[in-house]
Amino acid sequence: MPLLTRIKHAWRMMSGNVTEQKVAFVVAGAQKSGTTALDKYLRCHNDLLMPDKKEVHFFDHSKLFEKGEPNYRQYQAYYEPQTNDRLMGDVTPAYMYLPDCMTRIQAYNPQMKVIAVLRNPIERAYSHWNMERHRGREKLPFVQAMAEEAERLKQSRGSSRKFSYVNRGFYSQQIERIWQHFPKQQTLFVRHDELLADPTGTVNQIYRFLGVTELPHTEKKDVHSRPYVSSMSASEHAQLINIFRAEITALEGLLDWQLDDWLTHTPKAKG
């Protein structure tokens, strides 16, 4: 956490200058699906208030919940105190994937609106692996990393965040878990490729969902886009198609989306 953010947070807690207003919406997923750009877009709206940093990681911080209900003031201290009732939001894409988060979010605010940006899981898996390679945390080639993923997830809870390339792409079970805790009318799922192609239209869809004024233009931002250390091979692509074909079909039925292009599109050389 940046030093300035830590100082702000500590000062608000010590001084008692913490907003009593609850966070009204979360962008809960998915990782490597444009959530950093979306966070920047949302910060441009005068009716929304975002925290001092992207990815607060409050509801996936298990130690905070070990003794039951946590001190929610620690969470709300990441927000500037306000008097104009702007909607407070939190963009932390781990919330959708990690199983305990929705239970905790519902306990905090049953009226929470939950948003998720979904990326083609084939592209998402390779982009995730590429990110970890750039960070120096992944030494294995992509195919070997896929082959060893299940064992890695079993061995280390920490690794589940770093090396869950394929596992995170099974969105349907994550969506069903969200719907177990929140009514469908409190949830919104948008496509990553539509956010890329038409940020104004896609972000205005989110604004309508949140009940705030639409904006005439959202300038496209390209953030955290890294050149790939190697392009996805045809065999890797075919392997991922086999892994995710049934999942993509399930998503079509779940969300009433047409996703044929997810099975045919060739990934870019960065992402």
- Report the candidate in 249, 99, 94 with the shortest Cα–Cα distance to residue 174: 99
Helix boundaries (H) for 33-120:
35-42, 72-76, 94-97, 101-108
Tokens representing 43 are: 């910060």
More confident residue, 242 or 2: 242
Q: Name the residue among 121, 116, 115 with its Cα closest to residue 259.
A: 121
DSSP 3-state of 82 = coil
Q: For residues 18 and 1, what is the distance between their CA atoms, to the nearest angstrom?
A: 19
Q: How far apart are CA 117 and CA 10, in angstroms?
A: 32
pLDDT band with cut points at 50, 70 and 90 for residue 38: very high
pLDDT digits (tens, 9 = 90+) for 155-187: 876 656 789 999 999 999 999 999 999 999 999
Q: Is the pLDDT of residue 197 over 80?
A: yes
pTM, full prediction: 0.95
Q: Which CATH class is domain 3-264?
A: alpha beta
Q: Among 51-55, 157-161, 245-249, 263-267, whose mean pLDDT is lowest?
A: 157-161
